[in-house]
Homo-oligomer: A and B are copies of this chain.
Amino acid sequence: MDPTQEEIRRDVRDAIKGVVAVVDRREFVRRGREGEHLDDWWSTMADLGLLGIGVPEDLDGSGGGISGPVAVMEALSEAGTPAVLYLLTSFARTAIIRHGTEEQRRRWVAPTVTAEVRLCFAITEADAGTNSFKMQTFAEEDGDHYVLNGEKVFISAADDATHAMVVARTTRLSESADKRVGLSVFVVPLDAAGLDLQQMRIDLHSPERQFVLHLQDVEVPRENLIGERDQGLRVMFDALNPERLLVAAWAIGLGQHALQRGVDYARERAPFGTPIGSYQGVQHPLARARAHLDAARLMMYHACAQFDRDDEAGAYANMAKLLASEAANAAADAVIQTFGGSAFDADSDITTLWPMIRLLRIAPVNNEMILNYISERVLNLPKSY
């Protein structure tokens, strides 16, 4: 991390304190439990100028690049309040900034600075899983609009978003010479007719929820198509590295949050007279997790810097996601073991941290797929699946 980036990170961490004053970890979990939303949180993020970070100045932001949003996501997560819709909006708008028309950028990027636009992201389908080529959602062109039909799953925070960025087929797989051609990306308002949300039974102890998004004859004007028709994969690929990096930030922040809680407890808890933090069986796993979190963070910001100066960032972005999610899980595991039985008492809010941290070894892409990526793209080994 170069000194400039270090400074950005410090500034962001300071600014986030204002947001945490509104929704801290305890409040975040409480809202999750009681079904309350984050409206005041979003307005605070906007008021403090945090939503403009990563948005180019001509779109009302304070400057582009992914380093800033990554620092925001890390700080939010370290406070124990990771709002995934912030992550999704940051990542989805990158696709619009890079591939959208001027009009599209004004309509859907600039208003993210004030939270008037909040973008969720709809690509996954139940049967396709990690194999996006198999998706069935189809957008039929019909005059000046497209008609979308299909079903997307694991759509986070869809009820808090204003729009969904939806990936759909515009040419059927069976009719494509090249399977990579035929996908298109649309911005779909969440109040569109025929669009329906059904909450999934997933508890991440967060105010944000996951949904199945049903699309039945949803009409979307042609001007909501981002990039060229059938070339959606290219649009998405440009957003893939930012996504990996924001997810790495999510993991590192949460891992650091958990770790700090474990360390604090290990300094106090002393059933045998001396704090358990003085036993190597307790302290070494915590120390090891710290080293891995710090290494993953350096890799993450290194990839951010590469990405922001248009250097190749894919290898490091993928590795950062892999290492960050594993380090966060190691941290959480050590902290649970440190707390012992108390970790399972909801009042301690320790095992409540687990589902989200565990999910990050799987979402948005599982670590086995990242190992496949490193094997093929970095090590030049043959494809394994």
Q: Which of A351-384 contact B (CB under 8 A)?
A: 351, 354-355, 358-359, 361-363, 366-368, 371-372, 374-375, 378-384
Residues of B within 8 A of A201 (CB): 345-347
Number of copies: 4
A residues contacting B by CB (< 8 A) are: 1-2, 124, 127-131, 134, 153-154, 200-204, 263, 266-267, 269, 271-272, 274-275, 277-284, 286-288, 290-292, 294-296, 298-299, 302, 305, 315-316, 319, 322-323, 336-337, 340-341, 343-347, 351, 354-355, 358-359, 361-363, 366-368, 371-372, 374-375, 378-385
A-B contact list, 26 entries, CB within 8 Å: A129-B271, A200-B345, A204-B344, A267-B381, A277-B375, A277-B379, A278-B381, A278-B384, A279-B280, A281-B281, A281-B371, A283-B371, A287-B379, A288-B322, A291-B322, A291-B323, A292-B323, A294-B299, A294-B319, A295-B299, A298-B302, A337-B367, A341-B363, A344-B359, A351-B355, A351-B358
Given A337-B361, A341-B363, are A286 and B319 neighbors across the interface (CB < 8 Å)?
A: no
The reply to whether B383 and A278 contact each other, CB–CB distance below 8 Å, is yes
Q: Which of B279, B299, B378 contacts A287 (CB 8 A)?
A: B378
The reply to whether B200 and A130 contact each other, CB–CB distance below 8 Å, is no
Residues of B within 8 A of A380 (CB): 263, 267
Residues of B within 8 A of A336 (CB): 358, 362
CB distance from A10 to the nearest CB of B (A): 14
Given A269-B129, A374-B291, are A346 and B299 neighbors across the interface (CB < 8 Å)?
A: no
The reply to whether A124 and B295 contact each other, CB–CB distance below 8 Å, is no
The reply to whether B371 and A284 contact each other, CB–CB distance below 8 Å, is yes
User: In the complex the two chains form, what is the Cα distance from A346 to B202 in whole Å?
Assistant: 6
Residues of B within 8 A of A359 (CB): 341, 344
User: In the complex the two chains form, what is the Cα distance from A378 to B256 in whole Å?
Assistant: 13
